[in-house]
Structure 1
Amino acid sequence: MKKFVFFTILIIISIILIALRGFFLNSFYDVPNITTLKNKKITIIAHRGASGHAPENTLAAFTTALDMQSDVIELDIHLSKDGEVVVIHDESVERTTNGFGLVKDLTLSELKGLDAGEWFGSDYKGENIPTLKESLELIKGSAKVLIEIKTGRDGFIYTNIEKKTIEIVNNLEALDWCVIQSFEPYYLQTARKYNKEIEIQRLLFSDYSPFPFFSDTEFKAGDFVEYEVGYTAINPYFMSLTAGKVNTLHERGFKTNPYTVNKEDEMKKLIAMGVDGIITNYPDVLKGILDEIP
């Protein structure tokens, strides 16, 4: 009985703490008035292309992002069964296509046979999964490209995906406008071995989670040892940022581009904190805010 009471109290306390966290996150700073925002350059980063307006990680989404004058187009890559670098977010194809299975178990031909657009809307029926090469050939330096190297299911590491990515970037002479980012440090360190000039950025999960194993403990503890390998930016989940953390990152020489920010008030808060860029599904919304800054 005592154990039951103890665990009941513990659960109640946890619920209260989580609720208070939400309250204080909204109370620590109000949505700034547009006239109080800094007149500084904020990089507009289109998440999986303009994925709020077109099916994510498709050429249609990238074209829309360019039309909306995005500074950077973010995309995700996996390896197909036959070793082709393809652009898709998930390790499986179910969510964003009419197919089934893991990307790593399907050939490029099989992946190309899937419809990657109709799930978003009938106007996009026939959009397919692009390769990284096709995506870069479309963008052609009209915007920078932030290439996120993904892991497969259960943290599966794709063999040579960094090498293949660097080869594609080099062959297209796209080094000046391509950046590689990942949650997986191994990919970033290996990419640098293949080309020391490639810009690399580190993605982080939230460090506000009540569960320590969901946190990036190195960032939370302020231990930047791993980050001395040449990262130009540390890109965390936006809810984990405070003005103090932004300042700390800047003092350490890092830029910061939080993800994924889709509401105007959240964008304004982050701009007021001094972030360098914002990753969003709605680059047009962010541009509208920036255009209003006097």
Structure 2
Amino acid sequence: MSMIPNDIPEPKKGLISRPESTLPTPVLSPSNSIGPSPAFSTVLQSPAVSEFELEQEQNPFDKIDDGWRIPECWGHRGASASFPENTKASFVEACKAGADGIETDIHITADNQLVLFHDPELHRTTDGQGLIHKLPWKGVLEHVRTTKAPHQPIPKFTEVLEILLKPENINVKLNIDCKVENDPAKLFGLIKDVVESYNGWETKLAPRLILGIWHPKFIAPACSILPYLPRYAISMSLSQTRKYFFENCHGFSIMYEVLASSDGAKFRKECQSKGKWICAWTVNEKEEMRQCGRWGIRSVISDKPDVWRRIRKEIESDRAKALKPTLQSYILPFLQTKNYWFQYQRLANEETEYLEREGGTFDIPIPVVSLGIAKPSDSM
């Protein structure tokens, strides 16, 4: 989830195991790129911002009772422990592994295409070079392939939506991590155009999409352009989350180690009392998955949805036994430096420095926005 280079329908009550998907992992052509991608520069106009009539001020999660429920699992960039991150193969594999959702990252190319990729530049995970926003899809990015096998192309936003629209994936959600390098109005305008181009988007897509935002400058544009999508603030800092996002977002996607702290416990109670959802990232260890189950939060984001599925089956079979703390539960956190305050605070400081360098200061005027979710039909 970190940006440093290195729906929502009501949850159904009861614990139900999802059947194995028969969806095959796609076979994609090898790269025909013969070298680093050339750089291009294009000046684009931001699409118009549309107005929507909101429903009465209401938190869409107020109807959820306070009772414990098993968390969902959202595949981090798909099933990125098994396949190259943010690729069609990774998304399909996450669905086959029983993920309740897919978490992915979005950027805009120089020719106004939406692509799913984590970093602003290509070199860490692909055979390409350069910044995505300076490169066109046509003729350049379409030929880039991942360096990790099986070598995959960069997917367009439409491709993940088509995976979600397959009958076997009709309940899978999509958490869209909106990278700070993007212009909010242009990004949300393009997302709106793509989503609303599908027949039946009001019922088939909109209820399953979530906007993940890192910077407060995304709040007002998200509310005005995509008011029918809930907003999740993504953060490593609870103080920032409380100051800039708590009153204007429906949920929070927070680094696991922060949620596991004493302040994290207070934050979890605050969210429960206010009807806010919490998602923890990136949770790959079994004991941490069980801890998320003990917390009863909304969801876990994991590179390993197949591992979570096994944990979930244990919980469904015998919740008390599966979630009973062991000696390892108490000792393990002290054996890993990532759980110490100075470690995750350092990462949070670095993240804030990066976000403000790319997106500007957090201390901007934030207008009062509605937490009501507009009906998709209001946009027609």
Classify 1:39/1:292 alpha carbon distance in 2 versus 1 (closer, same or farther; 3 Å): farther
Q: How far 1:39 sits from its partner (Å)?
A: 6.8
Q: How far 1:158 sits from its partner (Å)?
A: 5.9
2:294 aligned partner: 272
1:113 aligned partner: 143
Contact 2:86 2:154 in 1 (8 A): yes
1:250 partnered with 2:280:
no
Q: How far 1:292 sits from its partner (Å)?
A: 0.3
In 1, the alpha carbon distance for the partners of 2:134 and 2:227 equals 31
In 1, the alpha carbon distance for the partners of 2:114 and 2:255 equals 26
In 2, the alpha carbon distance for the partners of 1:243 and 1:281 equals 24
Classify 1:112/1:188 alpha carbon distance in 2 versus 1 (closer, same or farther; 3 Å): farther
1:75 partnered with 2:97:
no
Q: Partner of 2:301: helix, strand, or coil?
A: strand
Q: Which has the higher helix share?
A: 1
2:45 aligned partner: none
Q: How far 1:269 sits from its partner (Å)?
A: 1.7
> Within 5 Å, which residues of 2 pair with 1:155-174?
157=183, 160-172=186-198, 173=201, 174=205
Query: Is there any run of 5+ residues in structure 2 with no aligned partner, and where?
Result: 1-66, 319-380
Higher RCO by CA contacts (8 Å cutoff, separation 6 or greater)? 2
Q: How far 1:247 sits from its partner (Å)?
A: 1.3
In 2, the alpha carbon distance for the partners of 1:102 and 1:53 equals 26
List per-residue Cα deviations over 1:169-191 (Å, max 9, x = no partner). Answer: 22221212111112123224312
In 2, the alpha carbon distance for the partners of 1:250 and 1:183 equals 22
List per-residue Cα deviations over 1:11-64 (Å, max 9, x = no partner). Answer: xxxxxxxxxxxxxxxxxxxxxxxxxxx972211110100111111100000110
2:308 aligned partner: 286
2:214 aligned partner: 183
Q: Partner of 2:107: helix, strand, or coil?
A: strand
In 2, the alpha carbon distance for the partners of 1:101 and 1:218 equals 31
Contact 2:75 2:303 in 1 (8 A): yes
Q: How far 1:226 sits from its partner (Å)?
A: 3.8
Q: How far 1:102 sits from its partner (Å)?
A: 0.4
Contact 2:184 2:218 in 1 (8 A): no
2:70 aligned partner: 41
Contact 2:251 2:277 in 1 (8 A): yes
Classify 1:292/1:39 alpha carbon distance in 2 versus 1 (closer, same or farther; 3 Å): farther
In 2, the alpha carbon distance for the partners of 1:184 and 1:235 equals 13
In 2, the alpha carbon distance for the partners of 1:133 and 1:176 equals 17
1:235 aligned partner: 253
Q: Partner of 1:69: helix, strand, or coil?
A: coil
Q: Partner of 2:91: helix, strand, or coil?
A: helix
> Within 5 Å, which residues of 2 pair with 1:144-155?
144-152=173-181
Contact 2:68 2:296 in 1 (8 A): no
1:51 partnered with 2:80:
yes
Q: How far 1:228 sits from its partner (Å)?
A: 2.1
In 2, the alpha carbon distance for the partners of 1:83 and 1:65 equals 28
Query: Is there any run of 5+ residues in structure 1 with no aligned partner, and where?
Result: 1-37, 208-215
Amino acid at match of 2:247: E
In 2, the alpha carbon distance for the partners of 1:244 and 1:276 equals 16
2:89 aligned partner: 60
List per-residue Cα deviations over 1:206-233 (Å, max 9, x = no partner). Answer: x3xxxxxxxx5333xx54x64322x221
Contact 1:238 1:259 in 2 (8 A): yes
Amino acid at match of 1:91: P
> Under a length normalisation based on structure 1, what TM-score does the superposition of the two structures give?
0.75
Contact 2:97 2:306 in 1 (8 A): yes
List per-residue Cα deviations over 1:270-289 (Å, max 9, x = no partner). Answer: 22122221000001111111
In 2, the alpha carbon distance for the partners of 1:145 and 1:58 equals 14
Q: Partner of 2:291: helix, strand, or coil?
A: helix
Contact 1:166 1:191 in 2 (8 A): no
> Under a length normalisation based on structure 2, what TM-score does the superposition of the two structures give?
0.59
